[in-house]
Amino acid sequence: MEVIREKADMRAWSRRMRRDGKSLALVPTMGYLHEGHLSLAREARAHADVIVVSVYVNPGQFAPSEDLSTYPSDFQGDLRKLSQTGVVQALFCPRNLYDYDTPGPLSVPPRHRLSAGSGEEQAPVSCLEKERGGGTHETWVRVERLEKGMCGASRPVFFRGVATVVTKLFHIVEPDVAIFGKKDYQQWRIISRMVRDLDFAIEIIGSEIVREADGLAMSSRNVRLSPRDRKQALSINKALSEAKVHISKGSVSSQEIKDRIIQTVSDAGGRIDYVEIVEQESLEPVEKIEYLVVICIAAWFGDVRLIDNIEIDVPAV
């Protein structure tokens, strides 16, 4: 497995693979890899000849108040785990995806520093913009409707940053296929829509959620849960599983199902960010569960925010 750090080297490696007639799959990650990430790499092997895993904690998707500085990392551990899978040919771990070899940061007067693409002054910006004065990177990719609800409501810079960094990775790696985990359901749908709308010649595949033995969805942030908070966090999967059972028995009111989930998680000690029941592809909220939907939740346990979801593939009526 090759370790590649420079953008130009990554592009050259990918093009060399293509000249050899090989297809490429990309698995984008932020590192601190767990079995969920490794399952994405194994899934990728079924769709391409060579697999590239990227590890990059993207400052463009974190607001200054969020956990960029405390996001866990273990590069040597990541390297070991990827090597042990036996399916990954390259690890792309760029030092800085926003380094354009310019002489220095541009100076942007505060009055011209805009929000996350909204055109409004003094609104939230990402860590990237705050750290660099807002001038070194000025181009952002947005999927405007899909980014507004759920995680986008409480994290206004998040999906703009995700769409932009994924676009950059697509241009650098030039994959035929990219694998995204369905745990980040809204992200998966946003990237799928972006690829469709911008005519990327890339197949986007959503891979199923991987859970711990006790049902907790695997996440790099789980390591930050205290034993007490981790036990409480099991209420998320419990609430989602119970919701699926209620729907299978004929419950079709979204509000009723949402109230049940909120009650279960809150009683366990979680603080709800949101619970939404939306159509699987459009992510439009539904009042009645009469076709394919996904139930999405975000909740805080201590100072750790967790997300999870469950697809409802069998109509209730």
Catalytic residues: 37
Eight-class DSSP state of 54: E
Single-letter amino acid, residue 184:
D
**138/136 Cα distance (integer angstroms):** 7
254-268 vs 227-248: helix crossing angle, rounded to 10: 160
CB 125 within 8 A of CB 160: no
Q: For residue 100, what are the CA distances in angstroms to 7, 91, 97, 135, 161?
A: 10, 21, 8, 12, 17
The partner residues of 253 in beta bridges, in order of sequence, read 288
Q: Token pair of 127, please?
A: 């860590």
User: How is residue 52 written in tokens?
Assistant: 């590239």
Using CA atoms, how far residue 173 sits from 92, 154, 177, in Å, is 9, 31, 11
Q: State the Cα–Cα distance between residues 285 and 181, nearest whole angstrom.
A: 22
Distance CA 89, CA 87 (A): 7
Task: Judge residue 49's burial from the number of C-beta atoms within 10 Å of its C-beta, 0-12 exposed, 13-18 middle, 19 or more buried.
Answer: middle
Q: At 82, which amino acid appears?
A: L
Distance of alpha carbon 158 from alpha carbon 210, whole angstroms: 23
- What is the distance between the terminal CA atoms of the chain, rounded to a whole angstrom? 50
Identify the residue whose tokens are 């703009």. Answer: 160
